[in-house]
Chains A and B, each alone.
Chain A
Amino acid sequence: MKLHDVPPAENLPQYKNVPSHAGNRVNGLGEKEKRRPSRVFHALGRPGYPLAGLNAFFLMNNTAGIVWQAIKYRWRLRNSNGPIAKTQLEVQDKSQMAKQIKGKAIEFGAGVVGITDFIETDSYDDIDNRFPNAICIGNPMQREEMLHVPHARAAVEVQRVYGEVADVAIKLAAHIRSLGWAAYAYGDPRSTDILQIPLAIRAGLGELGKHGSIITKEFGSNLRLSTVATNMPLSFDQPIDIGVEDLCASCRRCTVDCPPAAISDEKQWVRGEYRWYVDFDKCVPYFSANFGCAICQEVCPWSEPGRGPSLSEKLLSKRDSKKTK
C-alpha cells in the first residue's frame, strides 16, 4: 500500500499544563505489576481525566460525514441491553452451544467470531463487570475506503463498520436474552467499559501486532471489533499463533510510516505484561488531528486483502524449518 498526502506530525494540538507523558502514565507504561486499566481516552466527563482537552478536540475535529455515522451508530447502541426471557434454555453441552452461538453471529453478519472468559483486567477500574463470558466479533472495513487514511473518507468507513459490527453484537445479545440468559452488547471504544483487543486475542481472533492493534489471519488489522458479554455457559476458544510475532520482530513498516514515530521496535512493560506498546502521548495528538489516523493498521502487510492466510503459512513453515535445522 502506498500512502498519499500524509500530513506531517507538526504543529499538533498540545497541552500547556498536562505533562507530556500523562497518557503513558495512566496506561501503566513501565509498570511490572498487573493491574486493571484506567480510562485514558474516550471518557469525556470523567472527573480528573487528564486528556479531556485532547478528547474534546478529537470529537470536534470531525467532518459532517463522520458525525452523521457516529449519530446513527450511537442511536442504535441504545438497544445493547434489554429484557431477558423468563424461560431459560438449559445448556447441557457448552461446546455445542458455543458452536450454535458462533453460527448465529455469522448469520447476523460477523466476519470473525470467538469466545473467551472475562478476567478482571478486561474492564476498566471504575466498573464492576458482572458477566463471565465474552463473545468477540470482528468485521472488515472496505479496503478501497481505508486506503485514504489518515483522511476523513477513511474515518467515515471506520464509523460505518463500528455501526455494522455493533449491530451484529446487538442482534446476538438480543438472541441470547431470548434464550433466557443475560447478554450485553459493547460497541466502539467511545461507548464501552471493556478492552476489546485483549479479549479478542484470547478468543482466538488474532494476535497483538507491533502497532498495538489486533492482527487477524483473515483481515489483518483492517477490521473493527464488538463484544457480547453474557452469562450463558459456553466453551472457550484458544489464542492462536499465526506468526504475527515472527513478522513484527523483523518488519518495520508501521514503525517507519507512523508520522509521529509512536511505534517502538521493542516490547515494553505495561501493567505487568511485557508486550508491544504504542507511545500514547505521541500517537494521540496526531490521531486527534487526523480523523483517527489508522495508518499503522492499513500499511500492515497482513491488511492487504487475501494476503493473511498465505503470509501466516509462510511464516509458520519458516519457523518450523528453523526448528528442525
Chain B
Amino acid sequence: MSKKYRSFADEFYLEDASFLTRLKRDLRLIRFLVVNTWMWAFAGKKMREEFQQSQNNGEPFYVDRFAPTNKPK
C-alpha cells in the first residue's frame, strides 16, 4: 500500500507547534470543512436527487463515477 496517503490525523493533529503553525492548521481545517460542506450541499444534492430517482424508478445506481480513477487491484 502506498505510504503517500495522509489520514485526517496526519493532516490535522499537531504535537509541538508554534502559534503560527497551529493557526495555519486551523485555516486548513476550516478550508477542508467548507469544501466538504460545499460538496455535500451542491454535488451531494444532485447525487441524492439522482439516487432518489433511481430508487423510485427501480433502476440501478452506480457509484463508480464518484471515483473514476479507481481500478480493482
Q: Point out residues on A near B: beta carbons under 8 Å.
A: 10-19, 22, 25, 38-39, 43, 45-50, 52-57, 59-62, 67, 71, 74-75, 77-78, 80-84, 125-127, 182, 184, 186, 190-193, 289
Contacts and interface: CB of A to CB of B under 8 A. Distances in A.
A18 B60 contact: no
B62 A14 contact: yes
Contact of A80 (B9, B33, B64): B9
Contacts of B3: 126
A227 to B, nearest CB: 12
B44 A61 contact: yes
A50 B17 CA distance: 35
A57 B47 contact: yes
Contacts of B51: 13, 57, 61, 289
B9 A192 contact: yes
28 contacts: A11-B54, A11-B58, A14-B60, A15-B63, A17-B64, A18-B70, A19-B72, A22-B72, A43-B5, A48-B71, A49-B70, A56-B63, A59-B40, A60-B39, A60-B44, A60-B48, A61-B48, A61-B51, A74-B8, A74-B33, A77-B8, A82-B15, A83-B17, A84-B15, A126-B1, A190-B8, A191-B7, A193-B7
B43 A191 contact: no
A84 B14 CA distance: 11
B64 A15 contact: yes
Contacts of B37: 67, 71
Classify the secondary structure of A's interface with B. loop
Contacts of A39: 1, 5
B7 A60 contact: no
A191 B32 CA distance: 13
Q: Which of B10, B43, B60 neighbours the largest number of chain A CB atoms within 10 Å of its CB?
A: B60
Contact of B66 (A43, A47, A53, A192): A53
Interface of B: 1-10, 12-17, 25-26, 29, 33, 36-37, 39-40, 43-44, 47-48, 51, 54-55, 58-67, 70-73
A81 B9 CA distance: 9
Nearest to A81: B13
Contact of A61 (B7, B47, B60): B47
B55 A17 contact: no
A84 B16 contact: yes
B40 A127 contact: no
B72 A18 contact: yes
Contacts of B15: 81-84, 182
Contact of B2 (A25, A46, A52): A46
A182 B51 CA distance: 46
A54 B60 contact: no
B5 A47 contact: yes
Contact of A71 (B6, B26, B33, B43): B33
A11 B61 contact: yes
B5 to A, nearest CB: 4
A55 B65 CA distance: 12
